[in-house]
Amino acid sequence: MGVTIQNIRVICTAPEGINLVVIKVETNQPGLYGLGCGTFAYRHLLVKQLVEEYLKPLLVGRNAENIEELWQLMHQNAYWRNGPAENNAISGVDMALWDIKGKLAGMPCYQLFGGKCREGIPVYRHVDGKDLSEICENIQRYQEMGITHLRCQCGGYGGGRYGKAPSTAPEGAPDGIYLDSRQYIRDTVKLFQGIRDRVGYDIALVHDVHERIAPMEAVRLAKELEPYDLFFLEDPIPLEQTDWLRILRQQTSIPIAQGELFNNPVEWKHLISEHLIDFIRVHLSQVGGITPARKLQIFAEQFGVRTAWHGPGDMSPIAHAANIHIDLAAPNFGVQEWSGIEPPNFVIQDLKGPHGALLEVFPGLPEYRDGYVYANDKPGLGVDLDEAEAAKYPCENTVTQWTQTRLRDGSLQTP
């Protein structure tokens, strides 16, 4: 029967304090295994149980080379489909199967996707700061590193830190991250005006709304940001109200990037086919792995929509590698979000601090050099896992705070 699945294991680790979920698919061939990312950082135990209790019994003994068949089997077996926990579990297995396929072929995965359209992947990084001066200093620092695209925020996504309700909230209002959308819009417009005045227009700038304002407020923000030549405005409209993208499209020429929270093809099909977005922003494990992401990339290409895959800290280096392999082979690649993980010999320390523990747990990460990220050309996805190192950094099952965002009256707002 060829290469069959002999065992599936879940390794949870948090070398940077963020819960990461890795699925290891072992085969009947000695030493042949694949690694995939199923990271749902805020519900990691759900993914672990799904894989161990449901996907493993379903898949053990089956042919590991039949990736499409196995993806459809996992997707359909629970009857209800396209949930985030299930998609992440499926993703972990799917990426691992592609990793195995590349190792069997003796090729990096991008060769299986058709080969390179480019040698390196331009990335955008995140700039924040307490004020305009600090932000501009950080921009200059990234420019010196070769970065040509930057996402700029001031104080996070439009709000402060988690804590007690402010004095402007009603008596008895719960703790949370309190947002003032009108102040956020004023501050953001002022920020981009200041950045352009100080650093000019040679750097490509991005801003992430993170769905934290009402749709009509997003229209206002986009119109007021027009003079500052954004590369794109990220997730301006809440997932549940994407019909507003039609109105936003009519009101602004700023390119729109959407999709970080997408789970289901129904959520993006009409946005792409009706030209309502310019960049598709999905999180690979959230949509079910490499297999559906490749289909999405090819579908988007037919309508002139470019990719800008989600690439945050709450995904494992295996998923970052999967992003890069798809990017290398995608004619409609736009830009890649890169959370700041550098190779061990990279001297300049990232704003968030060194990433030595992460790199020790996950050897083989694609490397950043002078504005571009390069795959390492090992067979498969090219990233390995040191399980002994991973065990040093256990995950924590705690209540997530950063998603408890609230409006001035204390009611919840999408995070």
What domains sit in the chain, N to C, each tagged with a CATH number? 5-107 (3.30.390.10), 111-378 (3.20.20.120)
Q: Over the stretch 100-113, which tens digit does the pLDDT of each residue have? A: 999 999 999 999 99
Helix extents (H) in 145-279: 181-199, 215-225, 244-251, 265-273
What pLDDT was estimated at residue 346? 41
Please state the length of the chain.
Answer: 415
* Residues facing 23 on adjacent strands: 10, 36
The beta strands (E) that lie in 284-404 are given as 306-307, 336-337, 367-369, 372-374
Torsion of CA 152, 157, 158, 159, to 10 degrees: -130
Tokens read off for 373: 């990220």
Q: Supply angle C-alpha 234, 149, 91, rounded to 5.
A: 55
Torsion of CA 104, 109, 111, 117, to 10 degrees: 180
What pLDDT was estimated at residue 39? 97
Tokens read off for 272: 């792409």
What pLDDT was estimated at residue 359? 87
Query: Among 59, 60, 58, 52, which Cα is nearest to 10's?
Result: 52
Q: In whole angstroms, what is the distance from residue 408 CA to residue 181 CA?
A: 9
Helix (H) / strand (E) containing 86:
helix 84-105
Tokens read off for 6: 């002999």
Burial of 266 (0-12, 13-18, 19+ CB in 10 A): exposed
What pLDDT was estimated at residue 343? 53
Q: In whole angstroms, what is the distance from residue 291 CA to residue 285 CA?
A: 10
Does this model's pTM top 0.85? My answer is: yes
- pLDDT under 70: residue ranges of the chain: 1, 159, 342-355
Tokens read off for 267: 């959520």
Helix (H) / strand (E) containing 206:
strand 204-208
C-alpha distance from residue 52 to each of 25, 71, 86, 361 (Å): 11, 16, 12, 22
Classify residue 170 by its DSSP letter.
P
Please report, as a single letter, which amino acid is at residue 308.
Answer: A
In the Cβ-directed half-sphere of 10, how many Cα atoms lie within 13 Å?
27
What pLDDT was estimated at residue 307? 98
Q: CA 123, 129, 132, 136 torsion: positive or negative?
A: negative
- List residues with catalytic annotation: 157, 210
CB atoms within 10 A of CB 370: 8
Contact present, 211 and 238 (Cβ < 8 Å): yes
Burial of 85 (0-12, 13-18, 19+ CB in 10 A): middle
Tokens read off for 316: 């494992």
Contact present, 253 and 230 (Cβ < 8 Å): no
What pLDDT was estimated at residue 161? 82
Q: CA 243, 244, 250, 255 torsion: positive or negative?
A: negative
Tokens read off for 58: 């379903």
Torsion of CA 272, 276, 280, 286, to 10 degrees: -80
C-alpha distance from residue 16 to each of 118, 279, 321 (Å): 31, 29, 18
* Residues facing 336 on adjacent strands: 123
Q: CA 276, 279, 281, 282 torsion: positive or negative?
A: positive
Q: Over the stretch 150-206, which tens digit does the pLDDT of each residue have? A: 999 987 787 678 899 998 899 999 999 999 999 999 999 999 999 999 999 999 999
